[in-house]
Amino acid sequence: MTKFKGFTLAEVLITLGIIGVVAAMTMPTLINSTQGAQYKTAFKKSLTVLSQAVVMNIALNDYDLSQIVAGASNYADETTDMGNQTLYDMFNDRLNIVRRANTSDFNTTAGDPDNWSIVSDVNAADRGLFAKATTHGATNATSFPSTAMTTWPADNTVLFMNDGIAFIFDNTQSSCMAANTGIGVPTDNYCYGFIDVNGQKAPNRVVQCDGTGASGATEGDIDDFSCTVTSPTDIFPIALHDQSVIPATPAARAVLYNK
81 vs 118, higher pLDDT: 118
Q: Please give the average per-residue pLDDT across 111-118, as a whole number.
A: 64
**Confidence band for 167, pLDDT divided at 50, 70 and 90:** very high
- pLDDT for 124 equals 39
Side-by-side strand order, sheet with 97-102: 97-102, 157-161, 166-169, 191-196, 235-241, 244-247
Residue 165 has pLDDT above 90, yes or no: yes
pLDDT digits (tens, 9 = 90+) for 39-88: 999 999 999 999 999 999 999 988 999 999 888 777 655 555 556 889 99
Residue 33 has pLDDT above 50, yes or no: yes
Residue 170 pLDDT > 80: yes
Per-residue pLDDT at 57: 93
Task: Give the pLDDT band (50/70/90) at residue 135.
Answer: very low
- Higher confidence at residue 159 or residue 182? 159
Alpha helices in the chain (DSSP H): 9-61, 87-94, 250-256
pLDDT in tens, 184-212: 666 778 888 889 999 888 888 888 888 65
Instruction: Dump pLDDT digits (tens) for 198-255.
Output: 988 888 888 888 865 433 444 444 455 677 888 898 989 888 999 999 988 788 888 9
Considering the chain, what is the average pLDDT of its residues? 74
Q: What is the 3-state secondary structure (H, E, C) of 142-196?
A: HHCCECCCCCCCCCCEEEEECCCCEEEECCCCCCCECCCCCCCCCCEECEEEEEE
pLDDT at 132 over 60: no
Count of all residues that appear for the chain in the document: 259
Q: pTM for this one?
A: 0.76
Interstrand relation of 97-102 and 166-169 (parallel, antiparallel or unpaired)? unpaired
